[in-house]
Structure 1
Amino acid sequence: MRILLVEDDTLLGKGVSAGLVQAGWAVDWTLDGIDAETALHSICYDAVVLDLGLPGMDGLTLLGRLRASKHSIPVLVLTARETLADRVAGLDAGADDYLVKPFDLTELQARLRALLRRSKGATGPLLHHGRIVLDLTSHKVFLDSAPVELSAREFATLQELMMNAGRVRTRGQLEESLYGWGEEIGSNTIEVYIHNLRRKLYADLIRTIRGVGYTITAGNN
């Protein structure tokens, strides 16, 4: 899952970015609303963490422009504006959630997980597919109730495929969901993750659609 963080406080931005990466997300970080809008129109993100008091273009304006363009990406507003009127304004502008600074990083992570589950149609923290259970909260995977050790990127690849069960994900789409700006991606990195998942779980879990990408068949619950 790839997150866009829009925060002009460099100290806070570094901390939030590091915390989200540690939790298993790919994170891109911009310091102003104009750069954020450009990024949102060029990259497919899973969610946005948005400060309101931004240079260039303030957060409410950016949010309003996103919703006016029918962009449905989940947006969590992260701001020091704590009055009821501020919260109502943010939600009315199209925010999906609102968290006031100062905040606990674990709460931010939990709220993001909830937003991402809702946006993908998941009703709880557990994803089921046949013999596999994936826990979005603990970042653990179970095969026939036994834990399976996956690397962070293997887990993220499996999560992306399971949350898009029935849809084919191209290599480019998987790379975009797993890596942030400036991260080096090997030419066969995704193929390695797919190979490892088949080996650690079971061989026919992930189908290769030749010339297109990879998929997990829907409905095998």
Structure 2
Amino acid sequence: MQKQTIAILDYGMGNLHSVASALHLVAPDADVRLVQHPSECEGADRLIVPGVGAMRDCMAGFENAGFAPLLRDALEAGLPVLGICVGMQILMHHSEENGGVDCLNIFPQPVLHFGELPGPDGHNLKVPHMGWNRVQQHQAHPLWQGIEDGSRFYFVHSYYVPAEGNPNACGTTGYGVQLAAAVADKNLFACQFHPEKSGDAGLQLLRNFVNWQP
């Protein structure tokens, strides 16, 4: 595997070290960097946008770090980009979280709260949605290579991107509603689940990302 540089954007939100550790497993020769400033991304071959926490804080941290123009430039230049969890949600148009937060509007979809949704036992589903769900691959994508359709991935989230009428949804799952487990467009792939916590399937997705040539 050709040595390459993978930049993980550190804007104060996210379990960055678990992502970095998983990348070291699948790409031991790669230069994996935790970066806090756009200048540290110079020469990077790939970008990862993680995220855990409240949307307002995530967007403020992302903007204050100067990562918004960096991300747009990377997408325009054709660099492979992977978003994870809230790192997927900030790519959307608007989130209901924190009373309503404008996001980066790279994808036109909203981010909605689960609210009170009935479960199969008649009781409302617990929020946050936390645990393993099977993901249906609705569109072929290089990041699904070697991953069986319906494989289980690990989710932790209270807000979701709807799957219905979403042309960018390349993977879906259900938790009271059908939600986008993954979205993709050109050199951008983002997932609501945590591949770094999803066992062999998650590691395979990260391996695919490292080898992806959009």
Q: What TM-score, normalized by structure 2, do the two folds share? A: 0.40
The answer to which structure has the higher strand fraction is 2
The answer to which structure has the higher helix fraction is 1
Larger Rg: 1 or 2?
1
